[in-house]
Amino acid sequence: MTTRCFKPIFGKRIRVSKMDSSCRAVTGGDCSEIVTDGFISLSLSSETEDGAEIITKKANGALCINHKNPNAFKRFTLEMQFCGVDPDLLSFMTNMTPYQDWAGDVAGATVYEGIVDEKFGLELWTGLADAVAPSGAEEASGYVVLPCINAGVLGDITVDGENAVSFTMQGAYTVSGHSWGVGLHNVLMNGTTPDLLPEALLPTEPMLIMETGVAPPPSACGCQPFAA
C-alpha cells in the first residue's frame, strides 16, 4: 500500500444532488441533480465545541487540578458565491423556489420566509498542481464530497454600476446521519474502469477529499434527471 499526495488548485465543477429530509438521495423524477461550473468561490468553516476545563487551586494559589477535555468537531458551515443565476441551483441550495413564466419555463426564483430545511449533497472537482493523469484515467482531479448539507439562505446582493450583480449562499451546514454509502455515481478509477467508492462513508463522516482519475460530468443550466 502506498500513499499518494496531491495539491488541489481552483474549482472545476460541482454536482448538487437533491436529498430528502433523512439525507437520502432523491433519484426519481426529472429534477434530481445539477452540474455546473457557474460558481466563483466555495468556502468551508469548521465549527468545534471546546472541551470543558477543570481548574482547581490549592489554598496557597497553586494549581491542584489542571485538566481540559478534548475539543469536538461539530460541523462545517458553507458559503458560496455564484456566477450568474441558475434558478434551479439556487432552489436546491438556498431558501428560494423556482418561478415559472407563462410558457411554464423556469424563468427565476422567489425567496421565501420561514424555516429552511431542504437538504442536498455536494460534490466538487478541483484542478491538481503538478498532476499527470495515470494511464487509463480520464482526467486528473481533486474530488471533495459533502454527503448531506442543510440548505442556507440567499446572502447579501450588491447592485452598482461597476461590478456584476453577485449572488451568495450563506448559513448552510453539514448534517450527520447521511446515507451516502459508496456514492451515487462512478467517481474513482478501479483499475481502468470508473467505479463507485471502494468503501462506504460512515453517517458520521461529513466530508471526503481525495484524488481521482474520473473526469467531472459536463456542466448544464438547470436540474437534470438522476444519471445512474
pLDDT, tens digit (0-9, with 9 covering 90-100), for 138-196: 888 999 999 999 999 998 888 887 777 878 899 999 999 999 999 999 999 998 899 99
* Dihedral over Cα of 213, 45, 38, 23: its sign: positive
Q: What is the pLDDT of residue 157?
A: 81
Structural domain includes residue 227: no
Give the whole-angstrom CA distance, residue 178 versus residue 210.
19
> Span 203-222, mean pLDDT?
94
Each residue's pLDDT tens digit, 100-114: 999 999 999 999 999
Neighbours of 76 (CB within 10 A): 17
Each residue's pLDDT tens digit, 42-60: 999 999 999 999 999 999 9
The overall average pLDDT reported for the chain is 92
Domain assignment of residue 165, given as a range: 8-48+65-212
Give the whole-angstrom CA distance, residue 174 versus residue 195.
25
Structural domain includes residue 55: no
Q: What is the pLDDT of residue 183?
A: 94
Confirm if 136 and 189 have CB atoms less than 8 A apart.
Answer: yes
Q: What is the pLDDT of residue 159?
A: 83
Give the whole-angstrom CA distance, residue 154 versus residue 197.
33
Structural domain includes residue 58: no
Q: What is the pLDDT of residue 162?
A: 77
Each residue's pLDDT tens digit, 114-129: 999 999 999 999 999 9
The residue with greater pLDDT, 136 or 116, is: 116
Structural domain includes residue 199: yes
pTM of the model: 0.91
Structural domain includes residue 1: no
Structural domain includes residue 160: yes
Q: How many domains does the chain have?
A: 1
Structural domain includes residue 224: no
Per-residue pLDDT at 132 exceeds 90:
no
Structural domain includes residue 145: yes
